[in-house]
Amino acid sequence: MVSLLVLLRQDTNRSPMPLTDTAVRNAKPQVKPYKLSDGGGLHLLIQANGAKLWRVAYRFNGKQKTLALGGYPAVTLQKARKQRDDARQLLVDGLDPSVQKRQEKIAARLGGDATFKSLALEYLSNQRHALSPYYADQLQRRLERDIFPSLGRRPIAEIDALELLDALRKVEKRGALEQAKRLRQTCGQIFRYAVITRRAKHDPTSGLKGALKPNGRQKHHRTMPREELPAFLRALDSYDGDPRTAIALRLVVLTFVRTTELRAARWEEFEGLDGREPLWRIPAERMKARFEHLVPLSPQAVATLKELAALPGSDANGFLFPSPSREGCMSNNTMLYALYRLGWHGRATVHGFRGVASTILNEMGFNPDWIERQLAHDERDEVRGAYNAAQYLPGRRAMLQRWAEWLNEIKTSGKVAQISREAA
């Protein structure tokens, strides 16, 4: 360890005696810069222009280095000695004083407003390039609702595990156990970012593992039993709520896209609605896997879209389902509540229609790759994912056409006959 630490020594051309305030004050410039030593590596460098600069000479990992402490008289002899002693302690701890000083400067520059809210917003801003706009906004909304009111103005370095647990308990009391768990994870990411940027000393969320209530067995998206599909489709045609909501549900069933992909859809994403190959081009930033997704549209889906466009208040340049909400489009639960209103509370979810379609189309004998591509399941390989955006498009168009026809058949007959394999 001795080789790693400094051997702070006096140069042979410096005074062997410690400096005094008088000596420092009376030191005069010469033609060339010179040094006055105080011992332990601390010396005063007198420049030819009269500037007096405190320096500490030391060795770290076998290399000779110099630490600048500031200029006299702003830094007095007493202050310079204190900084020298602090540097020596860092060396004993195996740390390079110059590196530590540079990190402290960065932390001071970054830490002007080191509250939890300021760090959270800074962290989210840095992460937006890797997140979909919807998900990034969702994280911020959750923090604004459940964390910022109690902890937002607190210095992040002073927040302890009990304070954070108190905020998360309030979320648990609403029954939102999974959301409380996710908030703890998000807060942990923020605290670790604060530690890395030297605005906090530790991550208090590490002490909360096991403290939150378990959310039990994972509940998968409940799929509507196939024998109930005819009754559901008929009920949807006579839905007495907002017609836009009924149309949204119909489009989910016809295209089996995710709820978030449909509710934030914009008219500009639709192409060729009056042509032979109408298409919905969902941009990458709105997709879970962050790849553009192409949805071929059946005639039934096109007719539904035109029905929507004819409703009062439709904006050909905006959202399909506009709303005065902060997001500007239909809320996340609108379709789910409509499903409840239609009588399927606890028996089905909107997302579950994806499972219904997948199961039945597989039974019909359609190519599983077509089905997976239509479901836009995550494609981990970026090159392959970009290529697959349009892959199987003709086959998927035919598949969705048959799906729309089958839905109309069971709605008309009122029952689901045994499914036969009809596709190669």
Q: Flag whether 213 is in a domain.
A: no
- 296 in any annotated domain: yes
258 belongs to the catalytic site? yes
For residue 221, being part of any structural domain is answered with no
Domain final position from 106, 128, 145: 106
Q: Answer yes or no: 387 catalytic.
A: yes
Residue 107: the pLDDT is: 57
% of the chain with per-residue pLDDT over 70: 88
Same domain, 21 and 157: no
| Tens of pLDDT, residues 351-365 | 888 888 998 999 899
Using the predicted structure, report yes or no on whether residue 286 has a pLDDT greater than 70: yes
- Domain shared by 262 and 146, yes or no: no
For the segment 213-238, the average pLDDT, to the nearest whole number, is 78
Examine the residue annotation and report whether 354 is marked as an active-site residue of this protein: yes
Residue 82, domain member (yes or no): yes
231: CATH: 1.10.443.10
Mean pLDDT across the chain: 84
The secondary structure of 156-207 as a DSSP string is GGG--HHHHHHHHHHHHHTT-HHHHHHHHHHHHHHHHHHHHTTS-S--GGGG
User: Which burial class, exposed, middle or buried, applies to 32 when counting CB atoms under 10 A from its CB (0-12, 13-18, 19+)?
Assistant: exposed
Please pick, among 88, 258, 373, 397, the residue that the annotation labels catalytic: 258
How far apart CA 80 and CA 43 sit, in angstroms, is 9
**What CATH number is given to the structural domain containing 121?**
1.10.150.130
| Amino acid identity at 33 | P
Q: Is the pLDDT of residue 306 over 90?
A: yes
How far is Cα 214 from Cα 18, in angstroms, rounded to an integer? 65
Question: Has residue 383 been placed in a domain?
Answer: yes
> Is 393 found in the same domain as 333?
yes
> Which residue among 288, 290, 341, 411 is the active-site one?
288
Spot the catalytic one: 220, 377, 384, 415: 377
Q: What angle do CA 141, 146, 148 make, to 5 degrees?
A: 80
CATH, residue 23: 3.30.160.390
Q: Answer yes or no: is pLDDT of 302 > 90.
A: yes
**Chain segment 33-68, per-residue pLDDT in tens:** 999 999 889 999 999 999 999 999 998 888 899 999
Which one from 201, 220, 387, 421 is the annotated catalytic residue? 387
In this predicted structure, the answer to whether residue 381 has a pLDDT above a threshold of 60 is no
Residue at which a domain ends, from 208, 239, 269 = 208
Q: Is residue 50 part of a domain?
A: yes
Domains: count for the chain: 3
Q: Kindly state whether residues 305 and 407 are assigned to the same domain.
A: yes
Would residue 377 show up in a list of annotated catalytic residues for this protein? Answer: yes
Concerning whether 72 is annotated as a catalytic residue, the answer is no
Contact between 403 and 361 (Cβ < 8 Å): yes
- Is 1's pLDDT higher than 60? no
Which candidate in 52, 354, 373, 396 is catalytic? 354
User: Pick the catalytic residue: 52, 117, 244, 351?
Assistant: 351
Helices (H) and strands (E) in the chain, counts: 17, 7
Residues 66 and 120 reside in one and the same domain: no
Q: Show the tokens assigned to 383.
A: 């090159």
Q: 264 and 333 in one domain?
A: yes
Burial annotation 108-132 (CB, 10 A radius, 16+ → b, else e) = eeebeebbbbbbbbbbbeeeeeeeb
One domain for residues 289 and 370: yes
Domain range enclosing 343: 226-413
Nearest alpha-carbon partner for 200 in 165, 154, 167, 250: 154
Decide if 351 is catalytic: yes
